[in-house]
Structure 1
Amino acid sequence: MNKVSRTRVNVRVISRIGMLSAIAVVLMMFQVPVTFVVPSFIKLDVSELPALIGAFTMGPVAAIIISALKNILNILLQGTSTGFVGELSNFLLASIFTATAGFIYQRKHTFVGAMMGMLVGAVVMTFGAVISNFYFIFPLYSNFMPMEAIVNASHAVNSNVHDLWDIMIYCIVPFNLLKAFLTSLVTLLIYKKISPLFRA
């Protein structure tokens, strides 16, 4: 590939990453509470969808960049209500999910590979959510909302919750599995229709 061709490819990749990042920011604005799973201060969105599409079309590194840009742009547009803790968690978990899925899909470039990538990505993300939230994210968030209040709010959702570890098992695990399922489902519904746009 000559220098001109490489430049064109780089410009094309950068423009696609920018476009997907912008879409992700818009999707991030449409957050809905799922109070049958988690307290109302944790909301659900499908903003990982563009990063997952980026992972399948451009690879796992693109997915990580999209996940980062999405959160940076969201902070610039809407600010942060969690002292950047929520955005950090979103970036980490979105990167884990989409990059894992993209890594597997790159090695098995089939429908089965995509399914396997999303399934493994969901499991790895959920495990990462438990570890990061228990040891890092929730302790940081307790600077903005007392841990007792977090536990009480979670207990109101699920009476089995009595401490931080219970939150991980009864709230964080099902929440992340639900998020991964919805994102994966939408990706399966639209990917075949839009993938030709990324081959041009």
Structure 2
Amino acid sequence: MQQRNNKVLKMVVVAMLSSISYLLMLLDFPLPTFPVWLQIDFSEVPALIGAIIFGPVAGVLVELIKNILHYIIVGSMTGVPIGEFANFCAGVLYILPASYFFRKYRSIKGLTLGLVVGTVVMTGILSVLNYFVLLPAYAYFMNFSLPNEVIVTAIMPFNALKGLLIMILTLVLFPKLIVWLNQRVNAHNV
């Protein structure tokens, strides 16, 4: 019975975090000096929380549900979920290292290391993905192309800055989150 309750709790929390993540995705905004189509949002924070609390699969599910909701409700400029796919990849590439290092070291230092690694991994792999998949897909479906230099001049710095801003926000929220985590662990040990 306890195991069933834990599964239900996990599903409810993942659904709640996905909803919050979707709402945060709608609150996107451009940053000065970057192209207006590069919008920053903090929708990875709930996915990070899910990955920290329940493990990486929960974080990936939050990212997946958030992007499915976004595509169904808001739609896509191209009719094809290219932006949602890019956002999903970015989120997964960011949260997996953070979850891994936090679970390995169980400390704020481990989380910080994971967030730094996540920022580097997200920035690097998304640059390759933009070069080979995303920019060609936008060019095909929207009938215009961007020079590949935009990856180095705009997309890479934007992703690095986004990773840094999400890292700062997560580290600010972490002390409150750790209190809840400790209460949860103590409740299961009783």
Instruction: Give the TM-score normalised by the residue count of structure 2.
Output: 0.90
| Partner in structure 1 of residue 16 of structure 2 | 19
- The code of the aligned residue for 2:29 comes to V
Question: What does residue range 5-84 of structure 1 map to in structure 2 within 5 Å?
Answer: 5-37=2-34, 39-82=35-78, 83-84=80-81
CA distance in 1, matches of 2:67, 2:131: 22
CA distance in 1, matches of 2:23, 2:178: 20
Is the partner of 2:142 in helix, strand or coil? Answer: coil
Contact 1:28–1:47, Cα closer than 8 Å, also in 2: yes
CA distance in 1, matches of 2:101, 2:171: 16
Extract unaligned runs of 5+ from structure 1: 151-162
Instruction: State the shift of 1:144 in Å.
Output: 0.8
Q: Once the two structures are superposed, what CA deviation does each residue of 1:107-163 show, in whole Å capped at 9, x if it has no partner?
A: 11111100000000100000111011110011001121511xx3xxxxxxxxxxxx3
Contact 1:130–1:168, Cα closer than 8 Å, also in 2: yes
Q: Aligned residues, how many?
A: 181
Instruction: State the shift of 1:35 in Å.
Output: 4.3
| Partner in structure 1 of residue 115 of structure 2 | 118
Question: What does residue range 87-106 of structure 1 map to in structure 2 within 5 Å?
Answer: 87-106=84-103
| Partner in structure 2 of residue 178 of structure 1 | 161
Q: Once the two structures are superposed, what CA deviation does each residue of 1:83-114 show, in whole Å capped at 9, x if it has no partner?
A: 21000000011011011210111111111100
Instruction: Give the TM-score normalised by the residue count of structure 1.
Output: 0.86
Contact 2:38–2:158, Cα closer than 8 Å, also in 1: no
- The code of the aligned residue for 1:65 comes to L
- The code of the aligned residue for 1:172 comes to I
Extract unaligned runs of 5+ from structure 2: none
Is the partner of 1:80 in helix, strand or coil? Answer: coil
Q: Once the two structures are superposed, what CA deviation does each residue of 1:10-63 show, in whole Å capped at 9, x if it has no partner?
A: 1111111111101001100011112412x2122111111101111111111111
| Partner in structure 2 of residue 158 of structure 1 | none
Instruction: State the shift of 1:197 in Å.
Output: 3.8
Confirm whether residue 188 of structure 1 aligns to residue 185 of structure 2. Answer: no
